[in-house]
Structure 1
Amino acid sequence: MAYVLGLDLGTSALKGLLMDEIGTIVGSATADYPLIHPASGYSEQDPNEWLKACESVFEQLSATVLDFGQQLAGISFSGQMHSLVVLDEDNRVLRNAILWNDVRTTTQCERIMADFGDELLAITKNIALEGFTLPKILWIQENEPELWAQVRHILLPKDYLGYWLTGTMHMDYSDAAGTLLLDVAKKEWSQAITEQFNIPTDYLPTLIDSSGQTGTLNRPLAEKYGIQQEVKIFAGGADNACAAIGAGILTVDIGMVSIGTSGVFLSYEDQQLPTYQGKLHLFNHGIKDCYYSMGVTLAAGHSLSWFKDTFAKDQSFETLLAGVDTIEPGAGGLLFTPYIVGERTPHVDSQIRGSFIGIDTSHTLTHFAKSVLEGITFSLKDSQQLMETIAGKTFGKIVSVGGGAKNSDWLQMQADIFNSEIVCLEAEEGPGLGAAMLAATGLGWFEDLQACSETFVNYRPGATPNPQNVEKYQKIYLVYQKVYSATKVISEAFGDES
């Protein structure tokens, strides 16, 4: 039986997921690589480390899956969004990649929005934030002009890995949408943006659908791992788009909540583009001619980890959260806002800081733990509410993935706060599964991603809303929404003092 390989190029590791034609996981492999922090707020990576990691994944799979070399038919990718890779005219990497979580570009973002903000929003459907690629390009122009003079190619991480495997340079629409250089509606590089910021359009790669073929695995690499047959390579997608595909987010009535270090609330959008006016991110999907919207909570799981490490360092998460189900919604009048590193949605505010509101002598550690879980979930509900009020969405089902799907009490909280059925994935493989599905669809194993999803994606029950708790949380959420404006001035005052 033939295999597809989904390569998920993340921030800390490359993960390979090998699957067969009926959606069975045949093998998996992971190879780590280091982050580089040359200065405060800087986050970089050596692209050569990604290539070494890819060879390691190939070596692991060829050693553990006996017919890997004979049955591998296709490869596709999921990649960390926004991170900038620049090459010279000989296709050599000029500097470390500047990653999505690098925040050195505040000045560039302010200039973009002041000089071109309305036009940028109209074209890209997003506002300029430090994570995006365009501000990173401007930073190089301004701070490394001699290096910029050598630049001839601009890529994102997975596309550089794709170039190394095939010798061709492409970028899919879902990743291109995160550069702030793509006309999202027209699906082409924006001449207005590239001219405004002096970026030659021929520095940008050929655009292609996520399941489009970019080439075949180069022969020297194939022969190294005993691969005799032609292996087709497909463009792949941005990590959030691939995570959505791997979670079956392929219709407008299904949402996804992902709680990792940060948190994401994501929704499928069809051909009718909503007008979120920058309040939510809006990107091209890995599904042809479709889109997805998403809101971000900067410190979702990070808030819980911080709370545990600070106040219950010697306890496990299981011990810390035991008993939260015995406390009524609202944690006895205690509210937590997860703004401990600033916030993204719906408040683009780097200075706002988190808070516990309503502390009294009756509150125990368990009350505080419950309020942290509720606060994280309320923050993600902010994104859900924007989708419902602006785009008129109704979510019949929400797929919960990440840390929030591992605790049954938290799942019930999500069902009650989101007022929606919560389901989880039988096998949570993340963006790598979406990448494998793109390869399977590109090979023609399935008519489209919807058909592929029926074979590759399976759910298990999570939680259903408790009507009494839903009513309580609706009232508490209205109070939660007032905390931001009530603490904004205080946070800014402390920020000015520091």
Structure 2
Amino acid sequence: MTYLGIDLGTSGLRALLMGQDGTVLGSAERHYQVAHPHPGWAEQDPADWIAALDGAVNELRALPGFDGLRGIGVAGHMHGATLLDTDNRVLRPCILWNDTRSSAEAATLDGTEGVREASGNIVFPGFTAPKLLWVERHEAEVFARVAKVLLPAAYLNFYLTGTHVADMSDSAGTSWLDTGARDWSEALLEASHMRRDQMPHLVEGCAEAGTLRAELAEQWGLAGPVSVAGGAGDNAAAACGIGALSEGQGFVSLGTSGVLLAARDGYAPDPATAVHTFCHAVPDRWYQMGVMLSATDSLNWLSRITGATPAELTAPLGETLQAPGAVRFLPYLSGERTPHNDAAIRGSFTGLSAGTSRDDMTRAVLEGVAFGLRDSFEALKQTGAQIDRLIAIGGGSRSEYWLKLIATVLDLPLDLPAEGEFGAALGAARLGQCAAGADWQAVMTPPEIARTVSPDTAQTAAYDSAYAAFRAAYPGIRAVQ
């Protein structure tokens, strides 16, 4: 038996075929574009996701074992608003997680009595509920025709099963879910002028959401029934991929955005910290995470303006951690979430001089991102999360210097997985295996750790002082309360 994991990302889709023993048999990728019709807007045509999925599956069908497919799981980028009419036709392009057009609506919702308490979170501009208020205000004819609102992963579930169904982890990022009760909240829906019948049916991420439609099964050359899991938001799926499901387990992800995630055995929201508190993809578990919007994206930005690749920028730094630099970088190129909740905040360099080199600016960018992650770490500690060590994942984790820097700034050991798969696509495949009958506790195990990057204890005091200076560098930044 085999299982298909689908990771619906912002810039592309990745599909992975996994065997019964967890071995990855193969994968395929397809890419698509993000449209930016106005500054601050980010949209996608859901038809592009379907085309990407069909193309990836057609490639994977050539693999031995595909015809034994028994389970499918979908992980997706969170918060997107895919609007359907009564005939299940898409009414407009999906408004994505990094779209900031609904900042005013988010502020209105966030200031509404009881909203933070019910959802367990600040209403961020990227969340789904304020997007619908924006549509109501600016596209009233579209709003009047909305029969269902589906998150991106739920839209793929609909394509696969013909059923409107979503999981708890993804739905917790809408500002419509009572995250503690794991159910839609009538009060939250009413606050943004929505109804329960416009929401998909809720299931746990590891539970069966439905079965693969007969037409697709025939098209894919499959004979037996194929279970489709509830699925997960992308970070919850990544946590499933590395076995971070219990208190004390977590990861730091150095991708386009930066994420510091801690699994929680109980529900302990603290919206004032701007930490996200979401349901996990398995029953009776939650997770909390701090999110910074520009992690490797900060290094990519420096790469674009200097004409050097990220690898060319970081190579001269070597692998020996240096003392904090004189140049400081605030990594707020696209606003920030944790702990500032400020869509308008912007980045800057300070401490530049005539003698400043490209290497100095590169170090400043790496340090600024590390300090941004420290902000999330401090906020997570305030919620009571237990964080003694973290697994490091994402493209930025290939930089030895950056890893040593982050380990020192956080004063935590960072574990590096052995070569292999451990991300959202694998987590989604594991959810598909659980939907087909496997026990999630037996399936979602941590990866083999190849090595550990320890803090440089000789530098921790210096970086503590540099972090304090980073916190004081911008008057508009509030302290973590």
- AA at the equivalent of 1:94: L
The correspondence for 2:324, drawn from 312, 330, 340, is: 330
Match of 2:33 in 1: 34
- Percent identity, please: 36
Note if 1:237 corresponds to 2:237: no
Note if 1:453 corresponds to 2:452: no
Q: CA deviation at 1:432?
A: 0.7
Q: CA deviation at 1:435?
A: 0.5
Greater CA radius of gyration, 1 or 2? Answer: 1
Distance in 2 of aligned mates of 1:416 and 1:297: 19
TM-score after normalising by structure 2: 0.94
Match of 2:413 in 1: 421
Please give the per-residue CA displacement for 1:431-464, whole angstroms capped at 9, x wherever unaligned.
111101111222233x324x2233x733221411
The 1:460/1:327 distance shift into structure 2, 3 A limit, reads closer
The correspondence for 2:311, drawn from 317, 327, 335, is: 317
3-state DSSP of counterpart to 2:157: helix
Q: CA deviation at 1:429?
A: 4.6
Q: CA deviation at 1:350?
A: 3.0
Asked if structure 2 preserves the Cα contact closer than 8 Å seen for 1:408 and 1:462, the reply is no
Asked if structure 1 preserves the Cα contact closer than 8 Å seen for 2:323 and 2:462, the reply is yes
3-state DSSP of counterpart to 2:57: helix
Match of 2:276 in 1: 281
Asked if structure 2 preserves the Cα contact closer than 8 Å seen for 1:327 and 1:367, the reply is no
Distance in 1 of aligned mates of 2:20 and 2:393: 24
Distance in 2 of aligned mates of 1:362 and 1:43: 39
Match of 2:457 in 1: 467
Asked if structure 1 preserves the Cα contact closer than 8 Å seen for 2:299 and 2:310, the reply is no
Equivalent positions of 1:98-497 (< 5 A) are: 98-114=95-111, 116=112, 118-311=113-306, 313-314=307-308, 317-318=311-312, 320-325=314-319, 328-331=322-325, 333-360=326-353, 363-388=356-381, 390-426=382-418, 427-445=420-438, 447-449=439-441, 451-454=442-445, 457-485=447-475
Asked if structure 1 preserves the Cα contact closer than 8 Å seen for 2:261 and 2:289, the reply is yes
Match of 1:18 in 2: 17
The 1:352/1:199 distance shift into structure 2, 3 A limit, reads closer
Match of 1:89 in 2: 86
Q: CA deviation at 1:303?
A: 1.3
Alpha carbon RMSD of aligned pairs, Å?
2.0
- AA at the equivalent of 1:366: D
- AA at the equivalent of 1:107: A
3-state DSSP of counterpart to 2:459: helix
Note if 1:66 corresponds to 2:69: no
Distance in 2 of aligned mates of 1:36 and 1:369: 30
3-state DSSP of counterpart to 2:414: strand
Q: CA deviation at 1:430?
A: 2.2
Q: CA deviation at 1:288?
A: 1.1
- AA at the equivalent of 2:384: G
Distance in 1 of aligned mates of 2:57 and 2:186: 39
Distance in 2 of aligned mates of 1:467 and 1:54: 47
Q: Which runs of 5+ in 1 are unaligned?
A: 490-498
Structure 1 runs of 4+ aligned residues shifted over 6 Å read none
The 1:330/1:235 distance shift into structure 2, 3 A limit, reads same
Asked if structure 2 preserves the Cα contact closer than 8 Å seen for 1:321 and 1:366, the reply is no
Distance in 2 of aligned mates of 1:352 and 1:185: 31
- Paired residue total: 477
- AA at the equivalent of 1:194: L
The 1:326/1:422 distance shift into structure 2, 3 A limit, reads closer
TM-score after normalising by structure 1: 0.91
Distance in 1 of aligned mates of 2:262 and 2:310: 33
Bigger helix fraction = 1
Match of 1:495 in 2: none
The 1:362/1:95 distance shift into structure 2, 3 A limit, reads closer
